[in-house]
Amino acid sequence: MKKLVMIAVTLSTLAGCTTQADRMAKCEAQGISRDTCYLAEQNRTAAVNAAAEKQAMENAAAVQHAQEAKVHDPLREASFSSNGLNATLSNGFFSATVNGKKATVKRLNANFYEIHGNGFVISISLDENGITDASWNKAKGREHGLLQVTQK
């Protein structure tokens, strides 16, 4: 029992030192054998590593839970229409058509996409709930306008 109390006192004393060598020297200076000091240092290291691993696992679980909670699929099929312009976007925003012809989809960032095709550039803004705005520009010239969005 006396040895157990001595190890506990040694561990609490060792916690304030900066390096392993300093902690070992302080322990031995108290008249405790080198083997006991080494064992106390190994136990301290194992406890610190276990606490760090536990915290890392908790952090990873919290991040994963937060990501799962935020995951909302705004990238479902959508169609856009305006006077003389009909476009569709599907397959997770990977395939698109403009006036019935295949178009290319360009992701500029997580909240902004562009569709290029058939002489038009369609700009699409997103938030966590889906498409918020869509507009079109002619690839050549200054014609432009807003699009009505139908999201499925």
> Tell me: the pLDDT tens digits for 89-127?
987 778 899 999 999 999 999 899 999 999 999 999 988
Give the pLDDT confidence score for residue 12 in this predicted structure.
53
DSSP-derived 3-state class of residue 122: strand
| pTM, entire model | 0.52
Residues 47 and 10 in one domain: yes
Could you tell me the residue range of the domain that residue 30 belongs to? 2-70
User: Over 90: is that where the pLDDT of 70 sits?
Assistant: no
Residues 36 and 85 in one domain: no
Contact between 105 and 90 (Cβ < 8 Å)? no
Residues 92 and 53 in one domain: no
Structure tokens at 103: 């178009």
User: Over 60: is that where the pLDDT of 128 sits?
Assistant: yes
Cα–Cα distance, 125 to 136 (Å, whole number) = 12
Residues 94 and 60 in one domain: no
Structure tokens at 113: 């996409």
Last residue of a domain, one of 51, 70, 89: 70
Residues 59 and 91 in one domain: no
Give the pLDDT confidence score for residue 1 in this predicted structure.
47
